[in-house]
Amino acid sequence: MIKLKTDSEVELMRQSAAILRETLLLVGKLIKPGITTAALDTVAEEYIRSNGAEPGFKGYHGYPATLCTSINEQVVHGIPGSRELEDGDLIGIDCGVIKNYFYSDSTRSFAVGKISREAEKLMKITKEALESGLEKARSGNHLSDISYAIQKHAEANGYGVVRELSGHGIGRELHEEPQIPNYGYPGEGPVLKAGMVFAIEPMFNEGTEEIRTLEDGWTIVTKDGKLSCHFEDTVAITKNGPEILTR
């Protein structure tokens, strides 16, 4: 069952998402060669707590940190630590916030110093795919219209779409129904309605779509070691179309 949120619940989620948006902007400003991912994590956690909110991921199924910091061939769920960012890295910063008992979830990818043209293109296309998915988050559309819009973008550019990981409904829980794959045929699945709130999150690989998990049990990397990129926003479906809460 897809849980519909009332207007007042969407307002509570808007507040959660506003803190998350500010957190990612703050972390984004600190990204430069030499900073450790642990330092970014500390800044994010302190900012979230100072706003009367809690990190959404810390403790979730035992996840140890506030951010997921996924560098280059890391697709998602990279754990912050002593690694220093290097010129030319591509880093995805994924963060969740709980405020008013509601989650919000968003990811921004950033260039560290100067990145390759290939990396720039992968970032641009992944971001554009997110935009086209968000645009389909409208009442009357089918769920898989979002998936199809995202996949089309990847394939037009020869990128692999990660199959095992999806977007999701979000609310009082981080992961609610439905799952929102980043691939699929249009016109399938439930019809979208005002009050649904989704986290839409394309993950595109420069090479193969195949992934594997590292020994730490969390970090997911591309099987071929090539670059991957991830963007994510939390969006509410309203009478007036998609409202991107995390912007």
Contacting residues toward ligand MF3, per CB under 6 A? 57, 60-61, 63, 68, 77, 94, 105, 168, 199, 232
CB of 239 to ligand MF3, least distance (A): 26
174: its two tokens: 């981080």
Which residues are at the interface with Co ion (CB under 5 A)? 105, 199
Of 63 and 139, the one with the shorter C-beta distance to ligand MF3 is: 63
CB of 229 to ligand MF3, least distance (A): 14
Q: Which does 57 bind (CB under 5 to 8 A by kind): Co ion, ligand MF3, none?
A: ligand MF3
CB of 169 to ligand MF3, least distance (A): 11
Of 20 and 227, the one with the shorter C-beta distance to Co ion is: 20
Of 119 and 199, the one with the shorter C-beta distance to Co ion is: 199
The amino acid at 232:
E
171: its two tokens: 């609310």
Of 155 and 177, the one with the shorter C-beta distance to ligand MF3 is: 177
Q: At what angle do helices 143-156 and 117-135 cross, to 10 degrees?
A: 160
118: its two tokens: 């290939």
CB of 61 to ligand MF3, least distance (A): 6
